[in-house]
Amino acid sequence: MTVLGDWGFTNRVNRIIKPKSGRCVMLAIDHGYFGNIPGQLKDFKNLEPLFEYADALMLTRGMLRNCVPAALDKPIILRVSAGASMLKELSNEEINVAVDDAIRLNVSALTCSIFVGGEYEKQSLLNLSKLVNWGQEYGIPTLAVTAVGREMVRDARYLGMASRMAAEMGATMVKTYYCENFDQVTGICPSPVVIAGGKKIPEKDALQMSKNAVNNGAVGVDMGRNIFQSDSPIGMIKAVRAIVHENASVDDAFEIYKNGPKGL
Ligand code: 5RP
C-alpha cells in the first residue's frame, strides 16, 4: 500500500535540513524582537552578503520585509512570538503573527520560544502548541526554541528536559543551547536539534562548540552573534558551514575564517 505523506511539510523540512548532509546552518537575526540589538545587527540593512551562505534565515517578519530581497531563494524560519522586552519578563510572550501572514510570506517554518520553568511557562508551551496545530493544518514545520531565563541552569538535565518536552509537543525541530554532555540532550530528544550560538565568544571557541555539537548529535546550528559580530562574518559562516556540512576539523575551519574578508 502506498501512503502519500504531506508533500508540502516534507519539502519545507528538506529545504531547511539539507538531505545531502542531513545538516543545517541557520542564520539567526531575530534578536531585535525582544530589544536585543547587538553590534552588526544595528547595520541591519547591510546583512545581505551573509544570506547566500546560510541554509535558512531565522528572523521576524519586520526584518524579512525590510532586509531580505524577495528574490532570495532561501527558506525562512519566521519568529511569530513577541510581547516581552529584555527590560521586563521575557517569558511573557504570545503568538503575534497570523498564520495567513506567515503563508503570505511563503515561510518554510514557524518558530517561538518555550520557557520551561519560567514564570509564563504554560503560556509559552501553549504558544508552541498553537504553532504545531497550524503546522499540521497548513503543512508548515515548527522550530521550538528552548529559551533560558536568567535563573535557569544551562545543563544537560534542564536542556534535555526542555528539548524533549518540545519534541513531545510536536515540534519538528528544536533549538537549544550547547552544554557539557550534549549527547544527553540529543539522546533524549527525538526531533532534530540545532544549537544557538549564544553571546559572542572567540571565533575558535565558537567553531569548537559547533564541532562538539554536531559530534554529539546536533544536526547543525542556528547561530547569530558569533557570526554577525565577528570581524569576518562571511569567513565565520563559511567556517561553520565547513564543520556542519563537511565535518571539517576546527583548525581547518579556523583557517577558512581567517581567510575571510573583514566586515560585511
Ligand atoms: C533567542 C533566540 C535568538 O535570537 C537567537 O538564538 C540568537 O542566536 P545567537 O544566540 O546565536 O546570537 O532565538 O531565543
The pLDDT tens digits of the residues spanning 23-41 come to 999 999 999 998 888 777 7
pLDDT band at 46 (very low <50, low <70, confident <90, very high): confident
- Which ligand 1 atom sits closest to the C-alpha of 33? 4
Record the cell numbers describing residue 223, joined without a space.
547561530
In the chain, pLDDT over 90 holds for what percent of residues? 89
Ligand 1 centre distance from Cα of residue 37 (Å): 11
- Is residue 161 one of the residues assigned to a domain? yes
Q: Is residue 77 within 6 Å of ligand 1 at its C-beta?
A: no
Residue range 187-198, pLDDT digits in tens:
999 999 999 999
For the chain, what is the domain count? 1
Q: Does 30 contact ligand 1 (Cβ within 6 A)?
A: yes
CA 120 to CA 149: how far, in whole Å?
11
Name the pairing type of β-strands 81-82 and 94-95: antiparallel
Does the global pTM surpass 0.75?
Answer: yes
Q: Is residue 253 very low, low, confident or very high in pLDDT (cuts 50, 70, 90)?
A: very high
Is position 93 within any domain?
Answer: yes
20 tagged catalytic: no
- Ligand 1 contact, 28 CB (< 6 A): yes
Domain-located, residue 177: yes
Average pLDDT, the chain: 95
Which of the residues 130, 175, 211, 238 is marked catalytic? 175
Using CA atoms, how far apart are residues 6 and 141, in angstroms rounded to an integer? 11
CATH of residue 139 = 3.20.20.70
Contact present, 45 and 15 (Cβ < 8 Å): no
Report yes or no on 264 lying in a domain: no
Q: Grid coordinates standing for 156?
A: 544537560
Is residue 93 within 6 Å of ligand 1 at its C-beta? Answer: no
In a domain, 259, yes or no: no
**Ligand 1 atom 6: residue of nearest CA:** 196
User: Is residue 253, in this structure, part of any structural domain at all?
Assistant: no
Per-residue pLDDT tens digits for 86-108? 999 999 999 999 999 999 999 99
Residue 2 has pLDDT above 70, yes or no: no
Q: pLDDT tens across 115-172, in order?
A: 999 999 999 999 999 999 999 999 999 999 999 876 678 899 999 999 999 999 999 9
pLDDT per residue as tens digits for the range 161-176? 999 999 999 999 999 9
Structural domain boundaries enclosing 185: 7-197+207-224
Atom of ligand 1 nearest to the CA of 113: 14
pLDDT band, very low/low/confident/very high, at 205 (cuts 50, 70, 90): very high
Q: How confident is the model at residue 211 (pLDDT cuts 50, 70, 90)?
A: very high
